[in-house]
Amino acid sequence: MPIMNIIEAVRSALQTQMRVDKRVIVLGEDIGKFGGVFRATSGLFDEFGADRVIDTPLAEAGIIGTAIGMALYGLRPVPEIQFSDFIFPAFDQIVSELAKFRYRSGGNYTCPVVIRTPVGGGIRGGHYHSQSPEALFIHTPGLKVVTPSNPYDAKGLLLACMRQNDPVLFMEPKRIYRASKGEVPEGDYTVELGKAAVTREGTQCTVLAWSGMVSIAEEAAAKAAAAGLSVEVVDLRTLMPFDIETILASVTKTGRCVIVHEAPKTAGFGAELVASIQERALAHLEAPILRVAGFDTPFPYTLEHEYLPNADRVLTAIRQTLEW
């Protein structure tokens, strides 16, 4: 089985689906001959041609609006927004149009658009290339939000997204695009949407994370284990719909929970998780649920690594909840 990074896994998923379904079209800025700014679409133009790998103008609202039209007429477009920070010009198209077609048509029309976009910091991109806007889209009924943390999941989840009929934001952690490597089947497989993964078993505290923060959570859990503490790590993988059953099973077992995400703390998706857990499992909690997150400021450039959660910050929260 070949070793791939996340970029290679994403490319493999696109290539796999484009070979079996001629309705799949990819489009976006520089995704053709250039292969995308991160080279995720490298080689697709040569294999599938300009009719299915389409370079677009620098106009995000136009990219998504075009993809919506394609989907309504029977195609299955996979547009790329070069950085998630650039998605805001297309926000109205996504939340007012894309997310609403199934509802407004009484279920008669679907709009199977899978929007790929890199998210998060870690590349010294400053505040216009480092944001994590997942909560804005989770708050929009009608959208699915998927956040892989490793190459195996990236390919399997992306294939699953391209084979269902709802619009999806597929958010890829660019900080570990090439750093995260693992075995990925060359052939066809899918990873179930809406299903979390327990990546490390533990008994004293649950750490919930997604995307680029899963590796941080696992590093913190390893440090905790060296100090004699048992920490369970859960990778949500899909944020909408999220796997509340797996979360509750873990939290009721450990009695404690720490949530880790890159986005600013206030009104981040961690707040919804806190509410969802305490509504259902308050009697099982032995301490308040803590959040380790980005700060409520624009994403900084020179202080990037002070802004991003790290293993030591997560370990401090684990100790706090165990000592409460």
Which residues are known catalytic residues? 129
Q: Within a 10 A sphere around the Cβ of 313, how many other Cβ atoms?
A: 17
Whether residue 241 has a cis bond before it, omega within 30° of 0: yes
Closest-CA residue to 25 (of 71, 73, 77, 82): 77
CA 161 – CA 77 distance, rounded (Å): 11
Q: 184 with 152: CB under 8 angstroms?
A: yes
Strand partners, 119: 173
Q: What is each CA distance from 40 to 168, 186, 228, in whole angstroms?
A: 18, 16, 41
CA 4 – CA 257 distance, rounded (Å): 32
CA 120 – CA 171 distance, rounded (Å): 9
